[in-house]
Amino acid sequence: MSIIYINPYQFAAAGPTDPDFANVSLLLHGDGTNGSTTIIDSSPSPKTVSVVGDAQISTAQSKFGGASLAFDGNGDYLSITDSNAFEFGSGDYTIELWFYMLAVPGVSSYALFGGLSGKNFYFGVTTQSGVGTYLVSYDGSAELNQNSGALLVAGAWYHAAHCRSNGTARLFLNGQVVRSGTFGSITGTTGYQVGASSFYSIARWYGYIDDLRITKGVARYTANFTPPTAPFPDA
């Protein structure tokens, strides 16, 4: 009779996985060498990420991985060409990221993520006189905004998410629903920008962005949730 020895480590978990990874359109961890302008998309179908100005990887701040995407607010951003992976139409989707402001905008806005001219979407923060600085998303006609509760300050990491599920759009800050409502179809044949939006011409992002993930066809969050405690999985 033969004896079979089983290595107890053979079946150890290979690490966290994402059951919706096949639907991920863009995944930017922002990891790399300080000052690098090579930005890697870790989605299943990697897109080319072009650096405009002096946007770069920085080890000065990070939420995960020891580095993040750095923007100085002076004309720099990342550009991503359009593809079917970004054609959300009126379907479900999730756009989420971690952000850190070096200073709050004046009575104006900073763009975290938005469409090129012709792609009707903008996601960022804005400051309103007498109210403060808050999270906002805009589709060209409808707006979701936080503008109440604990408003945003510089020098802190925040998790932000914008999701649509069965026609209802929700805006989340640190896992809490801050606004919900209807949101129009996101259309257009142009691409997107990280740290800018030429669709809605506003100030460039001044700070850091980490672990940006876009998922098409899936509303990952429909109620309050615990923000991620580790980088998004690559599988």
Q: How far apart are the first and last CA of the chain?
A: 41
Q: Which pLDDT tens digit goes with each residue over 28-73?
A: 999 999 999 999 999 999 999 999 999 999 999 999 999 999 999 8
In a domain, 65, yes or no: yes
Domain of 100, in residue numbers: 21-216
Which residues, in sequence order, are bridge partners of residue 97? 160
Element (H, E) at 29: none
Tell me: the pLDDT tens digits for 150-203? 789 999 999 999 999 999 999 999 999 999 998 877 776 677 889 987 766 677
Taking the C-alpha atoms of residue 98 and residue 160, their distance in angstroms, rounded to an integer, is 6
Structure tokens at 217: 């066809």
Whether 4 maps to a domain, the answer reads: no
Asked whether residue 3 is assigned to any structural domain, the reply reads no
Give the closest residue to 88 by CA, choosing from 50, 49, 121, 118: 121
Q: Is residue 204 part of a domain?
A: yes
CA distance 196 to 187: 18
Domain annotation covers residue 112 = yes
For residue 36, the domain's CATH number is 2.60.120.200
68 located within any domain: yes
Question: Does residue 122 form part of some domain?
Answer: yes
| Residue 2 forms part of a structural domain | no
User: Does the structure show a pLDDT above 50 at 2?
Assistant: no
- pLDDT (0 to 100) of residue 14: 62
**pLDDT 10s digits, 73-110:** 888 999 988 888 888 888 999 999 999 999 988 867 88
Number of domains in the chain: 1
- The answer on pLDDT for 12 being more than 70 is no
**What is the average pLDDT value for the chain, to the nearest integer?**
87
SS3 assignment, position 78: strand
pLDDT > 70 fraction of the chain, expressed in percent and rounded: 90
> Is this structure's pTM higher than 0.85?
yes
